[in-house]
């Protein structure tokens, strides 16, 4: 990676264990696609007015060569498991992996092309 990884925790204190957990996920993404130039992860804790069990919000932004980006996050889930930080981070990085895979396929030109349709010939 060309720039240092940015990990930000909003509304909570990030522990060394949670930072390392996120860094492990980033390392797996780099193994998958080694041309990631920058990565920023923002973990938002549930706001004070939420009751226990509110979901974490995890945003992952990956910068790729030629100014391309993969942005994941910003969706609120109704899944009660999202109240667990590790589960929320896992889900965000799974979505990032799928988005990154799709972006890489497009960059390589591996996207399926459909043959042009034949025009309907007039009935004689």
What per-residue confidence (pLDDT) applies to 25? 94
Beta bridge partners of 57: 44
Task: Assign domain 6-108 to its CATH superfamily.
Answer: Ribosome hibernation promotion factor-like (3.30.160.100)
Residue 91 has pLDDT above 80, yes or no: yes
Top-confidence residue, 109 or 39: 39
Percent of the chain with pLDDT over 90: 30
Sign of the alpha-carbon torsion through 98, 103, 108, 113:
positive
What is the length of the chain?
A: 124
Give the pairing type, strands 57-63 and 38-44: antiparallel
What per-residue confidence (pLDDT) applies to 60? 93
Model confidence pLDDT, tens digit, residues 30-80: 888 888 899 999 999 877 655 556 778 899 999 988 888 888 886 666 677
């Amino acid at each position: 990676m060309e720039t240092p990884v940015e990990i930000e925790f909003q509304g909570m204190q990030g522990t060394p264990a949670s930072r390392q957990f996120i860094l492990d996920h980033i390392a797996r993404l780099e193994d998958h696609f080694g041309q990631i130039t920058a990565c920023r992860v923002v973990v938002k804790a549930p706001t004070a007015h939420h009751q226990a069990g509110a979901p974490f919000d995890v945003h992952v932004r990956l910068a790729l060569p030629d100014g391309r980006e993969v942005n994941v996050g910003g969706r609120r889930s109704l899944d009660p498991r999202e109240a667990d930080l590790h589960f929320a981070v896992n889900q965000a990085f799974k979505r990032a992996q799928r988005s990154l895979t799709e972006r890489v396929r497009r960059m390589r030109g591996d996207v399926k092309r459909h043959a042009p349709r034949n025009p309907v010939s007039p009935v004689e």
